[in-house]
């Protein structure tokens, strides 16, 4: 934020192997920008929600690769950084009307048969910047436990790091998306209250009152607003 760079403690990073000095206290993303890189790819929400900034890095004294989100990770002295290209994983089209788990043996296997090749190496789980139990949800899908797959994968931001690392070429984040949609559509109970309200609206039950509101004089509307009862506690 502050351009008062002179007084800041500087650290050294390597971007695609090139050395740069950047102030301490930045994220990987803002450090690259400080160094002069302008993002076109690899940057979306800047807040840990979209998965555009998935990145691989290594620190100077370690041989292991680490994986994380560039927008959510503090830059450290001696980091080797890269920008990741996109993940070209195949996604299977489906018709939401045709994936009722009660009418299919194992709907997950129908669409993503490669989950049967999972060798339980857990590399996907280790790669996940969201700490999701990715291998466990793949195993749940394999067993046909769609809801468990949906619940375990719920926080997935679809960055694709799991699938890049998978030796069996499983498309974790796509199959998890299918599991969640099946769960929302077929496994979770739907709302009666909502259904009732939709019917009331269809039947025009609010039409007259709404017309009155739209045409109401400002003063009257203000009065109504100030006098409305507010539900304060659950």
Partner 1 sequence: MTDGYPDYMQESIKKVKETREERMGKTYDRMTPSEGQEVLNNFHPDYKKEGKEELKIGPSKGRKVPTELAKLLRARSLIDPSEIDLTQVDHDVDVLIIGGGGAGTVAALWSVYEGIDPENILISTKLRHGDSNSMMAQGGIQAADKDDDSPIKHYLDAIGGGHFTNVPELVKALTIDGPKVLKWHEELGIMYDREEDGNFVELPGGGTSRYRLHSSGDYTGMELMRVLRDEADNLDIPVLEFTPAVELLKDDKGQVAGALLMNLETNEYYVVRAKSTVMATGGFGRLHVQAFPTTNHYGATGDGLIMGYRAGVPIRDLDSVQYHPTGAAFPDQIVGLLVTEKVRSLGAQPVNMDGELFVNPLEPRDIEAAAIIRECRGRENGVTTPTGMQGVWLDSPLIEMKSGEGTIEDTLPAMVRQYERFGIDITKEPILVYPTLHYQNGGLIINEDGSTPVKGLFAGGEVEGGVHGKNRLMGNSLLDYNVFGRRAGMTAAKHAKKASIGKLTLDHVNDYNQQIEDAGIKTDKKSPLLLPEYRGKKVLERHLDVEVTL
- CB nearer ligand FES, residue 69 or residue 127: 69
Separation of alpha carbons 224 and 221, rounded Å: 5
Q: Which of 74, 76, 72 is nearest to 51 (CA)?
A: 72
1 binds partner 1 (CB under 8 A): yes
Stretch that binds ligand FES, among 1-9, 49-57, 111-119, 130-138 (CB under 6 A): 49-57
- CB nearer ligand FES, residue 23 or residue 48: 48
Q: Which of 97, 100, 68 is nearest to 81 (CA)?
A: 68
Q: Kindly list the strands in the beta sheet with 18-23, ordered across the sheet, starting from the edge strand earlier in the chain.
A: 18-23, 10-15, 79-81, 54-59, 66-69
- CB nearer ligand FES, residue 67 or residue 115: 67
Q: How many CB atoms are closer than 10 A to CB 122?
A: 13
For residue 204, what are the β-bridge partners? none
Considering only residues 88 to 107 of the shown chain, the ones binding partner 1 according to CB under 8 A are: 91, 93-96
Q: Name the binder of 65 from partner 1, ligand FES, none, CB < 5-8 A by kind.
A: none
Considering only residues 129 to 188 of the shown chain, the ones binding ligand FES according to CB under 6 A are: 157
Residue from 3, 9, 61, 105 in contact with partner 1 (CB under 8 A): 3
Stretch that binds partner 1, among 49-57, 59-67, 104-112, 134-142 (CB under 8 A): 49-57
What Cα–Cα distance (Å) separates residue 75 from each residue in 12, 27, 43? 9, 5, 16
The least distance separating ligand FES from the CB of residue 154, rounded to whole angstroms, comes to: 16
**What 3 state SS string does 150-162 have?**
HHHCCCCCCCCHH
52 binds ligand FES (CB under 6 A): yes
Residue from 48, 80, 82, 109 in contact with partner 1 (CB under 8 A): 48
Strands 79-81 and 10-15, sheet pairing:
parallel
Binding footprint of ligand FES on the chain (CB under 6 A): 43-46, 48-53, 69, 71, 157
């Amino acid at each position: 934020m502050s351009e008062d760079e002179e007084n800041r403690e500087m650290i050294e990073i390597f971007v695609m192997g090139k050395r740069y000095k950047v102030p301490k206290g930045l994220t990987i993303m803002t450090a690259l920008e400080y160094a002069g890189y302008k993002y076109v790819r690899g940057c979306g929400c800047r807040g840990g929600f979209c998965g555009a900034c998935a990145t691989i890095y290594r620190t100077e004294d370690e041989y292991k690769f680490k994986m994380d989100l560039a927008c959510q990770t503090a830059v450290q002295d001696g980091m080797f950084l890269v920008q990741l290209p996109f993940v070209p994983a195949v996604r299977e089209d489906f018709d939401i009307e045709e994936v009722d788990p009660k009418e299919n043996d194992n709907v997950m296997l129908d669409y993503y048969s490669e989950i049967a090749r999972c060798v339980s190496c857990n590399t996907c789980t280790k790669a996940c910047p969201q700490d999701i139990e990715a291998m466990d949800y793949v195993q749940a899908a394999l067993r046909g436990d769609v809801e468990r797959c949906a619940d375990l994968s719920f926080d997935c931001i679809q960055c694709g790091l799991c699938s890049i690392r998978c030796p069996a070429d499983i498309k974790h984040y796509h199959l998890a998306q299918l599991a969640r949609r099946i769960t929302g559509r077929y496994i979770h109970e739907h709302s009666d209250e909502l259904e009732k309200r939709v019917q009331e609206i269809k039947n025009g039950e609010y039409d007259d009152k709404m017309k009155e509101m739209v045409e109401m004089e400002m003063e009257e509307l203000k009065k109504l607003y100030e006098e409305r009862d507010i539900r304060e506690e659950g």
